[in-house]
Amino acid sequence: MRAFPGVMYHNMFKAAWRTVKTLSADPNWLGARSGMIALLHTWGQNLSFHPHLHCIIPQGGFVPELKRWIYTRHRKFLFPVRVMSALYRRYFIEGISEAYANESIKWDATEWKKLVSDLRKSSFNVFVKAPFGGPQQVVDYLGRYSHRVAITNYRIVDVSPAHVRFTYKDYRDGKKKVLQLSPKEFARRFLQHVLPHGFAKIRHYGILSNKSKGTYIPIILRFFERRRATKEKFDAVAHILAKYHLDIRECPRCQNGIMMRYKEIPRLRGDPMQSRNKGYFNRTSIKALSL
């Protein structure tokens, strides 16, 4: 990775999209065209070298011939993790092997064969889950990292000729800690996350690519608009007036005024008596206005 970062990072993107594209096109899993937005992330909290991709993938795909959207067979996950891991490993090894054959990667032949052999025995980590807080949460999360560097200024605690101290989160126990490094080690860790010049770390694929989204996205949106039932807001006043010929807005005391809403009682959870003690129900929420 460190010796040929541009080639390796490119193959990470390429292998990820080939995996999603292959499984999406398979009728056993989806049988449709999918899309993907991928973001390269190379660092950990302590500035360690940890290259990986964050990907946003729709839970389904589009069938252009039918002009309709279809969902995955299993709503809880996109594709089986083990299948994705094995396929990603295969495509990644094929990609770097092609780069080696084209001499984009220059390596000792014996060492290269050993490296490829070890990769075939390794288990590639693929993690898939649906967003608990909805799609907007995922977009917001990736947006915080899309244009950042490996470390921001607010995490740096102290800088001196002898050391650099900065905070980081230890995911093993979830605690916030302070790490102290020599200036030389800090610079080494930081500079290993500088991407090659002109390298695009955010990429769009499939129906979400810049080339295709103008064609497919409007059709997909029209498909969902046709399927989305139009819900009319229930008007209790009009319903009772039409069915019982009774205007519930009429003031029961003077029989002349119309009651108008001027304040809403906030929705609360918990013991109603506690809400009462806080004074939420001590103020009148409906007022009669004489017309």
How far apart CA 98 and CA 104 sit, in angstroms, is 9
Q: Three-state DSSP class for 61?
A: strand
Q: How far apart are the first and last CA of the chain?
A: 78
Buried b (16+ CB within 10 A) or exposed e, 74-84: eeeebbeeeeb
Contact 56, 37 (CB under 8 A): yes
How many separate helices (H) and strands (E) can be counted in the chain?
A: 8, 10
Torsion of CA 90, 93, 99, 100, to 10 degrees: -140
- What does the pLDDT read at residue 290? 39
How far apart CA 204 and CA 16 sit, in angstroms, is 12
Q: Three-state DSSP class for 176?
A: strand
The one-digit pLDDT tens for each residue of the chain (291 residues) are 677 889 999 999 999 999 999 999 998 888 899 999 999 999 888 999 989 999 989 888 999 888 888 888 776 778 888 899 999 999 999 999 999 999 899 888 999 999 999 999 888 888 887 776 777 787 787 777 777 788 888 899 999 999 999 999 888 888 899 999 999 999 999 999 999 888 999 999 999 998 888 888 888 888 888 766 666 777 888 888 888 888 888 887 787 778 877 777 766 555 555 545 555 444 444 444 433
Q: Three-state DSSP class for 222?
A: helix
Q: Could you give the residue ranges of the DSSP H alpha helices within the chain?
A: 5-25, 81-101, 109-121, 135-143, 183-191, 213-227, 236-244, 272-277
Task: Please give the backbone phi and psi of residue 120, each rounded to the nearest 5 degrees, phi first.
Answer: -65, -25
What is the pTM for the complete model shown? Answer: 0.72
Domain ranges of the chain: 5-150+200-227, 151-192, 236-289
